[in-house]
């Protein structure tokens, strides 16, 4: 396992849900953190117990290209290195093939696919320098199989899987390793009304965060390309 001391991890969407759980886990594991969120006031409040010397909080909007560049720049200026990026920020939609309004498709593509692409592109030079850089894309089992009609969401998540494997290839010789973390329902705001699935039965954000922390700490010769996480027994393809 790689020691966390001095390693800098960026986490998007860190003010709630999975992102906040990941930030909490990594903070307690001793990492230096650069946390991005659209609402910095909410982020500040949610992470107020964190050691101020080990945390940078930045405004980050997945639809704003300038905020990607600004966040990476401020992280590099503060910590002088970037060891890992956790692309967690994402949105959902119930848009189907029969919906003629493509705004939902465009927005999901921007947030769920292009935003992590930008973050990988911008952080890759720093990740290569470390010799053991890590890219964690929080995707979904909806990027592995289709069990509903929500084509916009499913397409964006399949794209995120492709992005992850492309990142694995381009960074491999430099020690950069990429993993797609693919959960089903997680007890956050994102699932909404999930029918017969209780919140207690869903995967808990803290458990997913523990898995992500482990992925970041694994050595270069023991890396997981895809991590499929489910709360129940069903198809993962």
153 included as an active-site residue: yes
Residue-wise pLDDT for 2-58, tens only, equals: 999 999 999 999 999 999 999 999 999 999 999 999 999 999 999 999 999 999 999
CB contact at 8 A, 4 and 29: yes
Locate 105 and state its tokens: 């498709």
31, 126, 150, 153: the active-site residue: 153
Strand pairing category for 177-183 and 226-229 = parallel
| % of the chain residues with pLDDT over 70 | 97
Supply the Cα-derived Rg of the chain in whole angstroms: 17
Q: How far apart are CA 59 and CA 67, in angstroms?
A: 7
Which CATH class name applies to 8-229? Answer: alpha beta
Residue-wise pLDDT for 124-179, tens only, equals: 999 999 999 999 999 999 999 999 999 999 999 999 999 999 999 999 999 999 99
Q: How far apart are CA 219 and CA 101, in angstroms?
A: 45
CB contact at 8 A, 88 and 19: yes
* Segments making up each domain of the chain, as ranges: 8-229
């Amino acid at each position: 396992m790689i020691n966390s001391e001095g390693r800098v991890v960026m986490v998007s969407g860190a003010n709630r849900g999975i992102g906040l759980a990941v930030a909490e886990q990594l903070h307690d594991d001793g990492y230096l953190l650069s946390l991005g969120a659209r609402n910095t006031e909410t982020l500040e409040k949610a992470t107020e117990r964190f050691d101020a010397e080990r945390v940078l909080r930045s405004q980050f909007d997945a639809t704003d290209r300038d905020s990607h560049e600004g966040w990476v720049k401020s992280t590099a200026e503060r910590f002088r290195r970037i060891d890992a990026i956790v692309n967690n920020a994402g949105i959902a939609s119930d848009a189907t093939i029969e919906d003629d309004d493509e705004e939902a498709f465009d927005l999901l593509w921007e947030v769920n696919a292009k935003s992590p692409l930008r973050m990988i592109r911008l952080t890759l030079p720093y990740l290569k320098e470390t010799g053991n850089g890590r890219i964690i894309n929080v995707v979904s089992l909806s990027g592995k199989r289709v069990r509903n009609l929500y084509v916009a969401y499913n397409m964006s998540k399949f794209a995120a899987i492709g992005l992850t494997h492309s990142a694995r290839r381009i960074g491999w010789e430099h020690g950069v390793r990429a993993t797609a973390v693919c959960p089903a329902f997680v007890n956050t705001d994102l699932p909404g009304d999930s029918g017969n699935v209780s919140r207690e039965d869903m995967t808990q954000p803290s458990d997913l965060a523990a898995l992500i922390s482990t992925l970041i700490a694994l050595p270069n010769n023991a890396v997981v390309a895809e991590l499929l996480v489910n709360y129940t027994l069903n198809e993962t393809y």
